[in-house]
Structure 1
């Protein structure tokens, strides 16, 4: 049965939801407060990473985070503030930083990221799509024996979960990356991972949706919700009101603002990330994470992207130049021959990742609202989980059996 569906949010999650809802025969409208050409969906590292098995909420993260709070260039920064939503999120995050949460999350994260990879491959095979997709894996570069030992532990967990991964000596690493000098002890190579150039996928997807009858409304902010008897009757934007049978909340870090209007206190905090693009020929051919610095490097089509930091400081797009310098310094530390130019560092951009307290996304319907499907909270894995989330959203709204068990993603789950 065809339904009229309004998706609030035109990032990777919103567009993938629109894609699969359209495929299922629904009438779809996407509404976004921006021009749909910037934000986290455009500035991310482009990883499709089943390797990222360990959720952000893990043992020791709070202790490390407190220590890093006094270092303006640290990879993780949580800004203390007297805000009720932030305090609730912090309490839940602290509770979630446990071995129990990690053990519960590992198989769930693996299943949805692997499924998402398969769906990206399927989309790529459709004739209309020309976006860049490469399967060279992901290197975890380590400068210390201690960090290398930790990454080997994660690699063993990945192996136990059926992922293709191996440890590399510096000599073996140089065979894989012969064009760059590396200042590292060794690496772990997650052969299971792949990578993309994000803006190419977003451009292809927007073009496909528009040419197939999906309405995309830009620069319209949803300001209010007509909510009655457990259902959304209409939404009001800065321009007009819209009615539909079903609604999808895919607004990322902004999701709690609208979820409150249906009585749902969705615990999500914005995690700001930075990206620097270099048009120079860096010689890098395989994506890598500089493990001690928590900086991601991706060879994209026509340029190399350097991305990093997780700054939880509310919704803002302010650029902290100290963090930009930290990314550039880390790059030169691991790759001594690569120096980012002042112009490249000046052209930095940021995006806000929606972070849930336990490191798992919210996908599904809350008991608070019968015709609202939540799809947010993916943190650093929004790109890795994008297509799978869109597919699941379509299945939920179509009342079909979901491709994956989504109990762990329930919007009403307790922390």
Structure 2
């Protein structure tokens, strides 16, 4: 049995704690918040084998440059003369090639399917009773051009073994009769599932507390002491802690700590927004509104609209133009659906840790013997929570990992 400290109490941190305690390890989780906020609480709640194309894909650089001048665009990069940002941008550019995307596709698909299966295992256990539904995902489009692009991806999904259909507007209406969609058609993936994030997070927290996992809330890790290539001490704003193994699952804040080890893991914070509607919408199947890049999820008692990727440093400022863009997309794609001013006023945001190549960092760096890194999941953090946690526990328990970790190596070059 090892004493493990997990830095970060989001979905990745809690899932790491879950699988570590199942292996019999003693676990402590530290988080700079009070375990009730952040990207793990405001995301779309998707489990997405359908999202097998990484963010760093051919054409994204050109789109990003074009969208840079549009404050309501789905993908926005704030240009700045910062060395970390410039290195990340250069690595993103080098990753956005057809050959690199080709290599990433099966890797992303496989870890998503592993994670979906693990969510279903957790759900099937008698210890949990959270909202989880596998109803698939509709990629809804308004123009023939976007429809053709999405179907090309869909056909690749079929090649990868996923169940994918190209649906007409009438066929979508049969699947989703009460949503009143204003679209030309949709690509339907039967592989995907969805959840209510806050529901799962609170259940997992309670489960772990009952089983002796220690939690330190509102505690920020200020420094790491290194001795003979290992972390010997974790220094927070309140105390000093020692552990056999350390898991770094601090999301967008992770590079602030890896730099103390002389380890560079390129990450930029990608801000996403969400609006909740606590009234009947008629929406029963999750959908991506393709042209607007907005995700729609029917959750437990409400519908969530989430979207945008805003790479503009670590901050939680609400950009009202982006909130308005999400509301406009809802109105455009769903007839008679107006998001009210009071609902927009309660919009929230979270920061997703984006690696340059669209693959997370999972594993040990050669720079530190007792540190396992688990971050950089971008928009798939929720989807990949259990798979990452399982892999972390296998690494620390010296077991054969469920997946080959080569593509996720923290020391990989871009």
Q: Same fold (TM over 0.5)?
A: yes
**Secondary structure of the equivalent of 2:313?**
coil
Residue 48 (structure 1) aligns with = 47
SS at match of 2:292: coil
Deviation at 1:180, TM superposition (A): 2.1
**Over residues 43-97 of structure 1, what are the superposed CA-to-partner deviations in whole Å (9 max), with x where a residue is unaligned?**
0000000000100000000000000000000000000011111111011011111
Q: Could you tell me which residue of structure 1 aligns to residue 401 of structure 2? A: 402
**Structure 2 matches for 1:277-292, cutoff 5 A?**
277-292=276-291
Alignment partners' CA distance in 2, 1:220 and 1:251: 12
Match of 2:390 in 1: 391
Aligned: 1:268 with 2:264: no
Aligned equivalents of 2:380, 2:229: Cα separation in 1: 31
CA distance in 2, matches of 1:158, 1:385: 18
Per-residue CA deviation, residues 265-299 of structure 1 (Å, 9 max, x unaligned), is: 11000000000000010000000000000000000
Identify the residue that residue 317 of structure 2 maps to in structure 1: 318
Aligned residue for 2:291, secondary structure, equals: coil
Cα displacement (A) at 1:345: 0.3
Deviation for aligned residue 1:100:
1.2
Q: Once the 2 structures are TM-superposed, how far is the Cα of residue 156 of structure 1 from its aligned partner?
A: 0.7
1:236-275 to 2 correspondences below 5 Å:
236-275=235-274
- Which residue number corresponds to residue 337 of structure 1? 336
Task: Tell me whether 1:141 sits opposite 2:140 in the alignment.
Answer: yes
- 1:8-407 aligned at under 5 Å gives the runs 8-407=7-406
Separation (CA, whole Å) in 2 of partners of 1:128 and 1:342: 39
The alignment's TM-score, normalised by the length of structure 1, stands at 0.99
d(CA) in 2 for partners of 1:79 and 1:241? 37
Inter-partner Cα distance in structure 2 for 1:162 and 1:337: 37
- How many angstroms does 1:236 deviate by? 0.2
Contact 1:10–1:30, Cα closer than 8 Å, also in 2: yes
- Rounded to whole Å, the distance in 2 between the matches of 1:247 and 1:100 is 34
Moved over 3 A (4+): none
CA–CA separation in structure 2 for the residues paired with 1:400 and 1:157 = 33
SS at match of 2:222: strand
SS state at 2:120 partner: helix
Superposition deviation, residue 228 in structure 1:
2.1
Which whole-Å CA distance do the structure 2 matches of 1:229 and 1:352 have between them? 34
CA distance in 1, matches of 2:262, 2:401: 26
Task: Using the TM superposition, give the Cα deviation of residue 149 of structure 1 relative to its aligned residue in structure 2, in angstroms.
Answer: 0.4
How many residue pairs were aligned? 414
Deviations 1:143-166 (A, max 9, x none): 000000011011111111111111
Structure 2 distance, partners of 1:336, 1:280, is 16
CA–CA distance in structure 2, aligned partners of residues 388 and 105 of structure 1: 17
Q: Which moved more, 1:179-188 or 1:292-301?
A: 179-188
Distance in structure 1 (CA, Å) of the matches to 2:385 and 2:406: 18
Unaligned runs of 5+ in 2: none
CA offset at residue 349 of structure 1?
0.4
CA shift at 1:230, angstroms?
A: 1.0
- What runs of 5+ residues in structure 1 fail to find an aligned partner? none
| Cα displacement (A) at 1:129 | 0.7
Counterpart CA distance in 2 for 1:65 and 1:401 is: 40
Q: Distance in 2 between matches of 1:101 and 1:12?
A: 28
Which deviations, in whole Å up to 9, do the C-alpha atoms of 1:310-349 show, x marking residues without a partner? 0000000001000000000011000021100101000000
CA RMSD of aligned residues (A): 0.5
Aligned residues of 1:47 and 1:383 also touching (Cα < 8 A): yes
Q: Deviations over 1:75-132 (max 9, x none)?
A: 0000001111111101101111110111011000011000000000000111121110
Classify the secondary structure of the residue corresponding to 1:41: helix
Equivalent-residue separation in structure 2 for 1:107 and 1:25 (angstroms): 32
